[in-house]
Amino acid sequence: MRPADFAPPWWLRDPNLQTILGSSPLRRRLGERRLAAQGSHCTAHVIDAGDGVRLSGVHDAPANGASKGLALLLHGWEGSVDSNYMRLTAGELLARGWSTFRLNFRDHGDSHHLNEQIFHSNRIDEVVRAAVEVTRRFPAPRMVVAGYSLGGNFALRLGLRAPAAGLALERIAAVCPVLDPARTMRAMDRGLGLYRRYFEHKWRASLMRKRELFPHLLHLDDRTLRQRLAPLTQWLVERHTEFGTLENYFAGYTLAGQRLAALQVPAEILTAADDPVIPVEDFERLERAPGTRLTITRHGGHCGFLLDARLDGWGERWVARVLDAPEPA
């Protein structure tokens, strides 16, 4: 699948339309139908991620019980195992004979009660330990991972840490991954306010849920929660993480510069030149390992890649094709 293979009709080429429709109820129903059509066995699980951390997720197994391998799927910030792209990607992989495990990050989905400490984007260690535990609980001949947006960032960092963790990870697919979080935040602040307000609304709701469950831990008053995205992030980093400053926090999970040059696991990255959330320049200046390939489409928005009026997704098919490629020698 080359970049030119993604050619939406003219009326569907606007990046904001691609991005917004990607999260629409129509896509949600499509994902539910596609997943149900596979007749898969879906079971919810709580995973021991070490150090007392528990993460939730859903295991999807092919109806016939046979599986080529296990695909770990990681959602974006304030997404969940039930995000449209997660269900649709699981459906595509199940149709190809794979089983999947859709993992919730801490405080995503209905998992706020599982851990007292709040989520932040540098909590990669628990995701690595969860991946190891998932492979132990659901042994499979092959192991791959895919992630969207912040989940793509986590997937690539998981790949960087896989050898040391003893995780036999075969391949990575990352769709519109966050590479330089500082630039991403500036892009949201300067761009269409819709995206910034969307994430502010969802994050506030998440923090309010956390406050209800653990009032002794989070001293978040309503005035604090009314702050915009950047100052609220800074407030949280300075008071509820060990990083001290926003700059140190962003440096902890950036993939800019030479960070990805050491990646030993074969990886493919997909993004769109018109992504309104993550600047395409971040990808163009990215230093990649020899086994990392980059695909930039002309259209697609942020994790959209919608093909037609049915809102079929080219992105989920791309992920399934990448992960289902023959095992490397």
pLDDT band at 64 (very low <50, low <70, confident <90, very high): confident
**Does residue 1 register a pLDDT over 70?**
no
Task: Taking residues 235-241, report their average pLDDT.
Answer: 86
Q: How many CA atoms lie within 13 A of 166 on its CB side?
A: 7
Task: Taking residues 244-266, report their average pLDDT.
Answer: 94
Q: What percent of the chain has pLDDT over 70?
A: 97
pLDDT band at 257 (very low <50, low <70, confident <90, very high): confident
pLDDT band at 82 (very low <50, low <70, confident <90, very high): very high
**Does residue 14 register a pLDDT over 80?**
yes
Measured torsion, CA atoms of residues 244, 247, 248, 254, in degrees rounded to the nearest 10? 150
Q: What percent of the chain has pLDDT over 90?
A: 79
Burial class (CB in 10 A: 0-12, 13-18, 19+), 51: exposed
Residue entry with tokens 């992960």: 323
pLDDT band at 218 (very low <50, low <70, confident <90, very high): low
**Does residue 3 register a pLDDT over 70?**
no
Task: Taking residues 201-208, report their average pLDDT.
Answer: 91
3-state SS of the chain?
A: CCHHHCCCCHHHCCHHHHHHHHCCHHHHHHHHHHHHHCCCEEEEEEEECCCCCEEEEEEEECCCCCCCCEEEEECCCCCCCCCHHHHHHHHHHHHCCCEEEEECCCCCCCCHHHCCCCCCCCCHHHHHHHHHHHHHHCCCCCEEEEEECHHHHHHHHHHHHHHHHCCCCCEEEEECCCCCHHHHHHHHHHCCHHHHHHHHHHHHHHHHHHHHHCCCCCCCCHHHHCCCHHHHHHHHHHHHCCCCCHHHHHHHHCCCCCHHHHCCCCEEEEEECCCCCCCCHHHHCCCCCCCEEEEEECCCCCCCCECCCCCCEHHHHHHHHHHCCCCCC
pLDDT value, residue 4:
63
Mean residue pLDDT of the chain comes to: 93
pLDDT band at 261 (very low <50, low <70, confident <90, very high): very high
Between these two residues, 111 and 225, which has the higher pLDDT value? 111
- Specify the pairing of strand 292-297 against strand 267-272: parallel
* Dist. CA 320–CA 318, nearest whole Å: 5
pLDDT value, residue 225:
80
**Does residue 236 register a pLDDT over 90?**
no
CATH superfamily for domain 3-179+255-323 = Alpha/Beta hydrolase fold, catalytic domain (3.40.50.1820)
Burial class (CB in 10 A: 0-12, 13-18, 19+), 133: middle
Cα-trace Rg, the chain: 19
**Does residue 2 register a pLDDT over 80?**
no
Question: Please, which residues bridge with residue 174 across strands?
Answer: 147, 269
**Does residue 219 register a pLDDT over 60?**
yes
**The two three-digit tokens of residue 219, written as one number:** 């001293």
**Does residue 118 register a pLDDT over 80?**
yes
pLDDT value, residue 189:
79
Between these two residues, 14 and 228, which has the higher pLDDT value? 14
Q: How many CA atoms lie within 13 A of 195 on its CB side?
A: 23
Task: Taking residues 52-57, report their average pLDDT.
Answer: 98
pLDDT value, residue 269:
98
pTM of the complete model: 0.96
**Does residue 221 register a pLDDT over 80?**
no
**Does residue 329 register a pLDDT over 60?**
no
